Amino acid sequence: MFKDAKEAVKFIKEKGIAYVDLRFSDLPGRWQHFTVPAHEADENFFKLGAGFDGSSIQGFQAINESDMLLLPDVSTAFVDPFAEHPTLVVIADVYDPVEKKYYDKDPRGVAKRAEEYLKKTGIADVSYWGPEIEFFIFDQVGYSIEPHNSGFWIESEEGHWHSYEGGDGLWIRPKEGYFPAPPVDKYQDLRSEMVKNLEATGVQVELHHHEVATAGQAEIDIRFDTLTRTGDNVFKYKYAVRQTAARAGKTVTFMPKPLFGDNGSGMHTHQSLWKNGEPLFYDEKGYAELSKLAMHYAAGLLAHGPALAAITNPTVNSYRRLVPGYEAPVNLIISRRNRSAIIRIPMYFTGPKFKKSKRIEYRAPDPSGNPYLTFAAMLMAGLDGIRRELEPPKPVDKNLYALSAREARRIKTLPKSLDEALDALEKDHDFLLEGGVFTEALLEEWIAMKREEAAQVRLRTTPIEFQMYYDL
């Protein structure tokens, strides 16, 4: 929004801004913030930053090295459309004041280093990213994890389980929620309000619609952008969607699989490389009009797919989604137009006239991860594929869920659990360390944090175990 601190201060005074809110990402991927009165936000505030306790942020510092700085990036500023008092939101980078450098574990810093590394390789000078983010809109959610009482419940005005209670009779059955018109789609106006508020933060929206699952599953597609900016936009997206839902008395979750027996929420990610203003993924004579460079890039994603899963699908719940039969990709294969493959090549428009739209879609990621780390990790895998001139497995242009057992055994798949994905990341992460983009310290912290999450789930008895085993 602004090119320098002087412009930011001038805007604050002219527009009557009352507060400045600094936001940054913790390691798991939650937005954190604190707020200062506008009279404290002078040019020095924007240039020198503001101190905070890094030991209180998950995945950051130890208590004996807690003093950290937030350096505002004024180009990210937007006026908060939800704040009662005029508030300017600014995304910040984390800085270590003792080491005199940007903090190695700052997820946004990882994204920025990935972009810098891309330029240094000479392969391309920019990458573009277009995530398709899915989520559920619920009326109410409750859960219990007591030793003597464990379970959850979900209320949704669209939920098919209410059909016996009466009402308008227009229930969305499991896996039948794709594109129904109102009044079957009961969230048209709410999603439109979400779009309005999201665009008020500076994020361009392309479309919105009901998704496949029952109970208010939705998708809002945003315009592609550069890697770090897209990471910023995902955080704005989650903020705007959740705030809009809260104002309407609803609640939103980006959990990949909140409902058993129905489709989960993914974050299919479109990506491409460009150099000197020209797309690098197009070749009229290539498979699905992909260039050799694009095929090498795709091969990198497939080769590192199991390790990537620990970052692109980083929760125990992620692997409830990654199962056959629910449009979630598990097969490490490339294919055109094929949504059962983990890499799909969109073919809506073809030929030289549309070369700028040529891209690949990596369908594994879900929105429970940290977008900065997710996009950076995928870029590093793709660049490793280019650097090593890897070739992807032969494309399979048919429904991968309908293959014979013999055919299916020939295709590698994603890990079946978070622990398996973390095992893969421990064995295969050198590609992430290239150019200092990720660090060993960050990956060690990430793996330890995620191991603990997996253990917490593994140690607890679940309700279905009573049904299966109580009478043995």
Out of 53, 189, 440, 444, pick the active-site residue.
53
Out of 361, 366, 384, 429, pick the active-site residue.
361
- Annotation marks residue 336 as catalytic: no
Out of 134, 158, 366, 384, pick the active-site residue.
134
* Burial status of residue 379 (CB atoms within 10 A of its CB: 0-12, 13-18, 19 or more): buried
Measure Cα distances from 248 to 139, 141, 152, 160, 252 in Å. Answer: 9, 15, 22, 21, 11
- Annotation marks residue 160 as catalytic: no
- Rounded distance, CA 81 to CA 363, Å? 32
Length of the chain: 472
- Annotation marks residue 219 as catalytic: yes
* Helices then strands, each counted (H, E), the chain: 14, 19
Long-range contacts at 52-60 (CB < 8 A, ≥ 24 apart): 54/94, 54/103, 57/26, 57/27, 57/32, 58/26, 58/27, 58/28, 58/30, 58/449, 59/26, 59/27, 59/28, 59/105, 59/445, 59/446, 59/449, 60/26, 60/27, 60/94, 60/103, 60/105
Look-up of token digits 């984390």:
94
Out of 33, 209, 336, 339, pick the active-site residue.
339
* Burial status of residue 159 (CB atoms within 10 A of its CB: 0-12, 13-18, 19 or more): middle
Out of 26, 132, 289, 366, pick the active-site residue.
132
Among residues 175, 169, 257, which one has the least CA distance to residue 214? 175
- Rounded distance, CA 151 to CA 280, Å? 50
Token readout for 170 is 């227009």
- Annotation marks residue 453 as catalytic: no
- Rounded distance, CA 459 to CA 462, Å? 10
Out of 211, 262, 366, 384, pick the active-site residue.
211
Cα angle 16, 30, 185; round to 5: 85
Structural contact between residues 422 and 304, judged by C-beta atoms closer than 8 angstroms: no
Looking at residue 216, what DSSP letter applies? T
- Annotation marks residue 270 as catalytic: no
- Annotation marks residue 434 as catalytic: no
- Rounded distance, CA 340 to CA 333, Å? 9
- Annotation marks residue 40 as catalytic: no
Helix 371-387 vs helix 107-121: angle between axes, to the nearest 10 degrees? 20
Helix 227-247 vs helix 371-387: angle between axes, to the nearest 10 degrees? 150
- Rounded distance, CA 396 to CA 410, Å? 11
- Annotation marks residue 444 as catalytic: no
- Annotation marks residue 134 as catalytic: yes
Out of 23, 268, 344, 429, pick the active-site residue.
268
DSSP SS3 for 420: helix
Out of 73, 80, 219, 384, pick the active-site residue.
219
Out of 113, 210, 229, 363, pick the active-site residue.
363
Residue 78, number of CB atoms within 10 A of its CB = 17
Judged by phi (left if over 0) then psi (alpha if -120 to 50, else beta), residue 288 lies in: left
Identify residue 193 by its one-letter amino acid code: E
- Known catalytic residues? 53, 132, 134, 211, 219, 268, 339, 361, 363
